[in-house]
Structure 1
Amino acid sequence: MQQVNLSEDIYFLGFNDRRTHLFENIWPIPHGISYNSYLIVDEKIALVDTVERSFIDEYLDEIEGIIGDRAIDYLIINHMEPDHSGALKSIIQKYPDIKLVGNKKTFGFVESFYLTPKNVVEVYDDYRIDLGKHKLQFQMIPMVHWPETMVTYEETSKIVFSGDAFGSYGTLDGGIFDDEINLDFYEVEVMRYFTNIVGKYCPHTQRAIKKLAPLDIKMIAATHGPIWRSDLDWVLTRYNKWSSYDLDCGVVIVYGSMYGNTQRMAEVIARQLAVRGIKNIRVYDASKTHSSYIINDIFKYKGFIVGSPAYNNSLFPNVEILLSTIEHMAPKDHYLGVFGNYSWNGGGVKNLKLFAEKIKWEMVYDPIEEMGALKTDKKAELVKLANAMADKLLVEN
């Protein structure tokens, strides 16, 4: 790769993964993902995070191409997840006197994943390391999204090396910085990365945003996605909105359907919402759309309506998987509607009621269940459900 500098002595070491289909072996990444590491060359040299292990050889070559025979003094470990620490053992083998820099929770992870760390510098809030011209300051932001997570602030160039925070799915296709790319592409990928990976920890994200606010930040360098140097507000305002559950007026409707009857119920609800003036309506077949995309819209819109047929006296399996993911992510402050269908015995709606009890969202209407094909009386009830949801949403907008 051509040499990329964040400033005169700070280098970008990034690699594009265009082969992996599922990030964390869960989340679809059709546009791939980047792994970003950074090298600060001064009187002393610091490496900020590493990369996923499949890029180790090229990574070591690039470092040597910049510093030659010099040794790296510090490896800053902002986050121990293996996609950022995958080259740690190789770095230690090549630079055996390197000091590992982390907080009191970092080194237990180093030992459990790789080796017993011996040459360590334990840091905490406001701890500083002097490299020469460049001064590093550390701030702990636990649970964004692992317990050892921290950020490194370079005081001279005013760069925050933010780990996974403010990252994104999607490879860096030539453009590295936000002003080199069309951010329309990253509009979905940044949010999907947040909702899939960080979204469970919104209160912790809010605390981190407030904690970092006093810093004079000119650039944000995350470990995935573009480097933010021209329009930091683009990503900061979005993170603040998403992590504070500031939801837009809209409804996500998700259903499972074997023979089309539950789908027809969903279509009635969607149509009536549109009649009432709700413009943001997203209808998903749980068997077709991966939960990554559905979760993303749930973090965006206030209304959620879910329908399931009975399947062996229980929920339709793909609906059940989605609801389990929603419970795990625990988004807040939604309005909820429930409907379903059965042929000879119930189970779908009964279990949707259990989901409603667990998630503790406000139910806008009593659950609706049809036997067999959709009939006139239940269609009228579905219209009432849609109206009840619209009433809630429109009074707020």
Structure 2
Amino acid sequence: MNLAREIKKDIYWIGVNDRRTHIFENYWPLPKGVAYNSYIIVDEKVVVIDTIERSKMDDYVENIEQLLNGRKVDYLVINHMEPDHTGAIKALLCHYPDVKIIGNAKTFPMLKNFYGVCENLMEVKEGDSLDLGKHKLNFYMAPMLHWPETMVTFESTEGILFSGDIFGAFGTLDGGIFDDEVDLDYLEEEISRYYSNIVGKYGQPAQTALKKLGGLPIKMVCATHGPIRRSHIADIVAKYDKWSKYDTDKGVVIVFSSMYGNTEKMADIIARFLAEKGIKKIRIHDASKTHPSYIINDIFRYKGVILGSCAYNGNAFPTMETLLFELEHMGVKNHVVAFFGGKAWAGGAMPRFNQFAEKIKWEVVAPSCEACGCPKDEDFETCRNIAYAMADKLDEIC
């Protein structure tokens, strides 16, 4: 059975679901799987827009062959060179050796480096177009969203934006492929976790792309992951606008690393005092149990961040160090922060926390609390001061 689905006349979704891969890019957990979306337009000329990850390429090529029934593929558009969208290129070329590959000047060196392909190339620049017959494609560059060669393709006859990774989501497409056919509430965290961890570093390029694409008469958004948007386009655009501006809600993310429970006890005390001050959106994460992608997702949602770590070899605990590195690398902006932790005799996380605050340029709202051994009454009092200072700051700015 051919699983290709017509999304508009002569335009088809030819994607696949991946429920076997546990970790995306060998790092991000995939509890709900992931979809690799590819598309094909069958006109006077036939064009494939992006391919899929190589593990599913046999089924993918078979679907194309059944759909075309002997016709050849004339063009392949590469919006983004990452291997989860280009993994089937060599298989496609084996079946359709004369296909002309469309990309921009930054696409083709990557194409050669990844796959050794350097023939039948067609370079496009900003605003260039390609007539297929009834359908016309226009190409727009979206560099560093989230690779330097990234571009998008707009099909102007039906108003379809083939957006690559932009507006994507984790999660398989379980029956439906459109946003009004699936449970978006079920996918909500996977949509925001995808943005915050895959795209989140590139807020300014996202803002640039939103302004550029805002003038197009978009009636459908076809990303390379997640559901096709036709009924909730304004919703996902508004979310991207908010997230890429680092706009956050009033709430606090508390993250701790604790070996024997003392630092965790301080996290609970701080949370209790935050609630006492009227903060309702409080999320506590154990950095040793929760993958950084979920923690980062919550940090993208909420303005306040309170980090705590026990001492480990004279420094921060390794799982907290991993989180700090991730946040520094991503350059997450516009948060307020406070710190707590513990040590047995010397060292501890406070020098690393101070280094982190300076590097990431977050405002520190209260003096830190560092207990020696088990936290004492005076440590709990300092924890209360941290909670109250954070709540007062959020009341002021949110």
Counterpart of 2:169? 168
Q: CA–CA distance in 2 between the matches of 1:163 and 1:87?
A: 16
The answer to whether the 8 Å contact 1:309/1:349 transfers is: no
Counterpart of 1:121? 122
Q: CA–CA distance in 2 between the matches of 1:183 and 1:5?
A: 21
What amino acid is the match of 1:52?
Answer: E
Counterpart of 1:311? 312
Q: CA–CA distance in 2 between the matches of 1:39 and 1:117?
A: 23
Q: CA–CA distance in 2 between the matches of 1:392 and 1:238?
A: 25
What amino acid is the match of 2:335?
Answer: H
Q: CA deviation at 1:308?
A: 0.8
CA RMSD of aligned residues (A): 0.9
Q: 2:252 is paired with a residue of what secondary structure? A: strand
Q: 2:201 is paired with a residue of what secondary structure? A: helix
Q: CA–CA distance in 1 between the matches of 2:213 and 2:169?
A: 20
Counterpart of 2:274? 273
What amino acid is the match of 2:191?
Answer: V
Q: CA deviation at 1:116?
A: 3.3
Q: Within the alignment, does 1:47 sit opposite 2:74 as a pair?
A: no
Q: Within the alignment, does 1:182 sit opposite 2:188 as a pair?
A: no
Counterpart of 2:326? 325
The answer to whether the 8 Å contact 1:10/1:39 transfers is: yes
Q: CA deviation at 1:189?
A: 0.6
Aligned pairs (5 A) from 1:204-353: 204-353=205-354
Q: 1:187 is paired with a residue of what secondary structure? A: helix
What amino acid is the match of 2:142?
Answer: I
What amino acid is the match of 1:136?
Answer: L
Q: 2:288 is paired with a residue of what secondary structure? A: coil
Q: 2:14 is paired with a residue of what secondary structure? A: strand
Q: 2:215 is paired with a residue of what secondary structure? A: coil
Deviations 1:164-183 (A, max 9, x none): 00000000000100111111
Q: CA–CA distance in 1 between the matches of 2:24 and 2:183?
A: 23
Q: CA–CA distance in 2 between the matches of 1:255 and 1:54?
A: 38
Q: 1:200 is paired with a residue of what secondary structure? A: coil
Q: CA deviation at 1:338?
A: 0.7
The answer to whether the 8 Å contact 1:310/1:349 transfers is: no
Counterpart of 1:76? 77
Q: CA deviation at 1:324?
A: 0.6
The answer to whether the 8 Å contact 1:162/1:222 transfers is: yes
Counterpart of 1:19? 20
Deviations 1:190-232 (A, max 9, x none): 0000011000101101110111001000000000010001121
Deviates more, 1:105-114 or 1:3-12: 3-12
Q: CA–CA distance in 1 between the matches of 2:299 and 2:33?
A: 23
The answer to whether the 8 Å contact 1:368/1:381 transfers is: yes
Counterpart of 2:380? 379
Q: CA–CA distance in 2 between the matches of 1:71 and 1:220?
A: 26
Aligned pairs (5 A) from 1:91-130: 91-130=92-131
Q: 1:203 is paired with a residue of what secondary structure? A: helix
Deviating above 6 A after TM superposition, structure 1's stretches of 4 or more consecutive aligned residues are none
Q: CA–CA distance in 2 between the matches of 1:341 and 1:130?
A: 65
Counterpart of 2:11? 10
Q: CA–CA distance in 2 between the matches of 1:276 and 1:230?
A: 40
Q: CA deviation at 1:69?
A: 1.4
The answer to whether the 8 Å contact 2:258/2:264 transfers is: yes
Count the aligned residue pairs: 397
What amino acid is the match of 1:239?
Answer: Y
Q: CA deviation at 1:40?
A: 0.3
Deviates more, 1:372-381 or 1:39-48: 372-381
Counterpart of 1:154? 155
Deviations 1:47-84 (A, max 9, x none): 00001111111111110111121111100000000000
Q: CA deviation at 1:335?
A: 0.3
User: What residue ranges of structure 2 are gaps of 5+ in the alignment?
Assistant: none
The answer to whether the 8 Å contact 1:142/1:148 transfers is: yes
Counterpart of 1:355? 356
Q: CA deviation at 1:94?
A: 1.3
Q: CA–CA distance in 1 between the matches of 2:17 and 2:34?
A: 6
Q: CA–CA distance in 2 between the matches of 1:21 and 1:57?
A: 21
The answer to whether the 8 Å contact 1:341/1:349 transfers is: no
Q: 1:178 is paired with a residue of what secondary structure? A: coil
The answer to whether the 8 Å contact 1:48/1:75 transfers is: yes
Q: Using a 3 Å threshold, how does the CA distance of structure 1 residues 141 and 60 change in structure 2: closer, same or farther?
A: same
Counterpart of 2:367? 366
Deviates more, 1:344-353 or 1:103-112: 344-353
**TM-score normalised according to structure 1 size:** 0.99
The answer to whether the 8 Å contact 1:262/1:308 transfers is: yes
The answer to whether the 8 Å contact 2:255/2:306 transfers is: yes
Q: 1:179 is paired with a residue of what secondary structure? A: coil
The answer to whether the 8 Å contact 1:168/1:225 transfers is: yes
The answer to whether the 8 Å contact 2:172/2:226 transfers is: yes
Q: CA–CA distance in 1 between the matches of 2:335 and 2:291?
A: 21
The answer to whether the 8 Å contact 2:270/2:386 transfers is: yes
Deviates more, 1:51-60 or 1:101-110: 51-60
Q: CA–CA distance in 1 between the matches of 2:88 and 2:146?
A: 20
Q: CA–CA distance in 2 between the matches of 1:208 and 1:198?
A: 12
What amino acid is the match of 1:126?
Answer: G
Q: Within the alignment, does 1:139 sit opposite 2:149 as a pair?
A: no
Q: CA deviation at 1:360?
A: 1.2
What amino acid is the match of 1:130?
Answer: D
